């Protein structure tokens, strides 16, 4: 690695002072993301650069490739796995300012964007056309499209609309050596193609380890005109899970099915007392969207199914009442951070995914894990696809609580593998989950590394992520 001063001077020469960040204080803000592990360390970049076009990204990558300098692409830094943290130093490539919408192609149901545009801002721009980009992360007002593609994000409405990768039609990628490729066809505006090996899918979820995504072509859909919310309370986790399964068996696919366990219900009520959610072992939130006729019909069907097992059921299509019913789910992120005086919610072991049939067992055993480590764990998530979010609550200034949190996270990840699930459903691997990849993937992880080495033979792209041996 060359001297940092030389690197900074060369970046200034290539890009100009307005696109280079080199002070220690400013670089400190790039040493962490939302992940607890990154906040326990200080992974300083040597320099941060803020390119605003493909040619500038090419200049940076050619330079980095020539001098063997690590490059870490970064969007909003809202990730929870350390994926955008420069664990090997080098260059952080901040793409969050590159927010252009290149084209809204209404007639072909697609949009072309640069990687820094925020999810919510994209949907605001699409709304006048009656269109939307369906994946809906809880961090919609922060998450960038580039970051969503890099991690194959999904969120609250994945049960009906799927994950980000299902909407990515093509990408512009700057390779580690500075060359540019376009996946999905050089000039294509088709909504599907099976021409050649699917390189688009290779890059979706690759977490910046194979190149820098500089442009994204996305499929978009008509915005559903109506929606309804059903809030149901259950005295048994098993009854909640059985209700979800029966809804599916009746041919109904809600746009969202969310769960709070009793710890989540208590956290929401403590955070916002006027919610007055009844005490229960589980709360389910169903969202139905579509035409008014479809929403009314499916909403009534789900209500009748839920009434077989639930202790209380309420269905609403009025906007004000829907907002009130949905508040219990909407506040849980903030609520979990304030459930215990003098403590906060941390992000570790926060994104496990279980087979749907195993969700009740998983939730009970997560409670046991918390008790084993004397750590409060709030649980909520997307029960419609088995993706659970766990929120350990600790005082990060107390060493014994930090140590206990590491034990909680490890046990939760191991539980996911034991029950036939995954260590991550939507947040990605980064460096926080790399230790579990061999157990989860076996020989397939070696094949992933062969692909990585073929595309990035010098290993400069986001090193230290996915593969624990780096």
pTM of the entire predicted model: 0.95
Q: Could you tell me the pLDDT band of residue 153, with boundaries at 50, 70 and 90? A: very high
Q: Do 116 and 96 form a contact (C-beta atoms < 8 A)? A: yes
Per-residue pLDDT at 189 exceeds 80: yes
Q: What is the CA radius of gyration of the chain?
A: 23
At 241-270, the pLDDT tens digits run: 999 999 999 999 999 999 999 999 999 999
Would you say how long the chain is, in residues? Answer: 470
Question: Is 101-222 CATH 2.120.10.30?
Answer: no
Domains of the chain by residue range:
4-94, 101-222, 226-419
At 6-17, the pLDDT tens digits run: 999 999 999 999
Q: Could you tell me the pLDDT band of residue 424, with boundaries at 50, 70 and 90? A: very high
Strands 180-183 and 131-132: unpaired
Q: How far is CA 82 from the centre of its chain?
A: 12
Measured over the CA atoms of residue 63, residue 65, residue 69 and residue 72, the dihedral's sign is positive
pLDDT of residue 469: 67
Q: Could you tell me the pLDDT band of residue 337, with boundaries at 50, 70 and 90? A: confident
Question: 363: closest CA among 282, 269, 307?
Answer: 282
pLDDT of residue 146: 98
CA geometry: angle at 66 spanning 61 and 70, to 5°?
60
At 271-311, the pLDDT tens digits run: 989 888 999 999 999 999 999 999 999 999 999 999 999 99
Q: Give mean pLDDT, residues 63-79.
A: 97
Tell me the percentage of the chain whose pLDDT exceeds 70. 99
Q: Give mean pLDDT, residues 24-29.
A: 97
Determine if residue 143 is left, alpha or beta; phi over 0 gives left, psi from -120 to 50 gives alpha, anything else beta. beta
Give dist(CA 117, CA 113) in Å, integer: 7
pLDDT of residue 126: 98
Q: Locate 211 and state its tokens.
A: 């190149």
Contacts of 161 (CB under 8 A, 6+ apart): 134, 135, 136, 221, 255
**For all residues of the chain together, what is the average pLDDT?**
96
Question: 384: closest CA among 221, 156, 226, 228?
Answer: 156
pLDDT of residue 117: 98
pLDDT of residue 2: 77
Per-residue pLDDT at 470 exceeds 60: no
pLDDT of residue 88: 96
Q: Could you tell me the pLDDT band of residue 164, with boundaries at 50, 70 and 90? A: very high
Q: Do 340 and 274 form a contact (C-beta atoms < 8 A)? A: no
At 368-411, the pLDDT tens digits run: 999 999 999 999 999 999 999 999 999 999 999 999 999 999 99
Q: Do 57 and 171 form a contact (C-beta atoms < 8 A)? A: no
Tell me the three-class secondary structure of 44-74, residue by residue. Answer: CCCEEECCCCHHHHHHHHHHHHHHCCCEEEE
Question: 428: closest CA among 210, 158, 205, 116?
Answer: 205
Question: 79: closest CA among 166, 176, 165, 149?
Answer: 149
Q: Do 352 and 415 form a contact (C-beta atoms < 8 A)? A: yes
Class of domain 226-419: alpha beta
**Around 210, how many Cα atoms within 13 Å sit in the side-chain half-sphere?**
25
Q: Locate 275 and state its tokens.
A: 């919610």
pLDDT of residue 444: 98
Q: Locate 283 and state its tokens.
A: 């709360």
pLDDT of residue 375: 97
Strands 101-105 and 110-113: antiparallel
Per-residue pLDDT at 319 exceeds 70: yes
CATH number for 4-94 (one of 3.30.43.10, 1.25.40.10, 3.40.50.300, 2.120.10.30): it is 3.30.43.10
Q: Give mean pLDDT, residues 125-146.
A: 95
């Amino acid at each position: 690695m060359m001297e940092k001063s030389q690197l900074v001077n060369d970046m200034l020469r290539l890009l100009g002072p307005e696109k280079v960040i080199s002070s220690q204080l400013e670089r400190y803000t790039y040493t962490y993301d939302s992940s607890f592990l990154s906040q326990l360390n200080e992974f300083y970049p040597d320099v941060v650069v803020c390119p605003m076009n493909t040619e500038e990204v090419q200049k940076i990558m050619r330079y980095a490739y020539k001098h063997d300098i690590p490059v870490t692409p970064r969007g909003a830094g809202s990730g929870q796995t350390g994926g955008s943290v420069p664990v090997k130093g080098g260059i952080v490539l901040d793409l969050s300012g590159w927010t252009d919408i290149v084209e809204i192609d209404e007639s072909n149901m697609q949009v072309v964007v640069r990687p820094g545009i925020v999810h919510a801002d994209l949907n605001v721009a699409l709304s006048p056309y009656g269109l939307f980009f369906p994946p809906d992360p809880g961090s919609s007002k922060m998450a960038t499209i580039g970051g969503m593609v890099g991690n194959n994000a999904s969120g609250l409405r994945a049960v009906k609309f799927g994950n980000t990768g299902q909407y990515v039609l093509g990408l512009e990628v700057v390779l580690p050596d500075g060359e540019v490729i376009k996946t999905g066809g050089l000039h294509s505006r088709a909504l599907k193609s099976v021409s050649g090996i699917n390189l688009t899918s290779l890059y979706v979820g690759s977490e910046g380890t194979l190149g820098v995504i500089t442009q994204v072509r996305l499929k978009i859909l008509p915005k559903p005109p109506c929606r309804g919310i059903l809030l149901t309370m259950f005295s048994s986790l098993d009854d909640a899970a059985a209700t979800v399964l029966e809804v599916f068996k009746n041919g109904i696919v809600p746009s969202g099915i969310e769960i709070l366990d009793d710890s989540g219900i208590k956290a929401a009520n403590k955070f916002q007392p006027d919610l007055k959610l009844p005490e229960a072992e589980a709360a389910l939130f169903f969202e139905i969207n579509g035409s008014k006729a479809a929403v009314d019909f499916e909403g009534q069907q789900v209500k009748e199914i839920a009434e077989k097992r639930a202790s209380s059921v309420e269905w609403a299509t009025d906007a004000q009442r829907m907002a009130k019913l949905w508040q219990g789910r909407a506040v849980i992120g903030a609520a979990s951070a304030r459930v215990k005086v003098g403590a906060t919610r941390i992000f570790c072991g926060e994104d496990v995914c279980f087979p749907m049939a195993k969700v009740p067992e998983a939730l009970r055993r997560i409670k046991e894990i918390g008790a084993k480590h004397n750590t409060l764990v709030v649980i909520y998530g997307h029960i419609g696809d088995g993706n659970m979010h766990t929120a350990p609550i600790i005082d990060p200034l107390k060493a014994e609580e930090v140590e206990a949190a590491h034990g909680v996270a490890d046990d939760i990840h191991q539980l996911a593998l034991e029950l036939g699930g995954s260590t991550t459903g939507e947040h990605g691997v980064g460096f926080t989950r790399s230790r579990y990849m061999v157990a989860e993937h076996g020989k397939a992880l070696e094949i992933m590394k062969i692909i990585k080495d073929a595309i990035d033979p010098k290993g400069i792209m986001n090193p230290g992520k996915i593969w624990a041996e780096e």
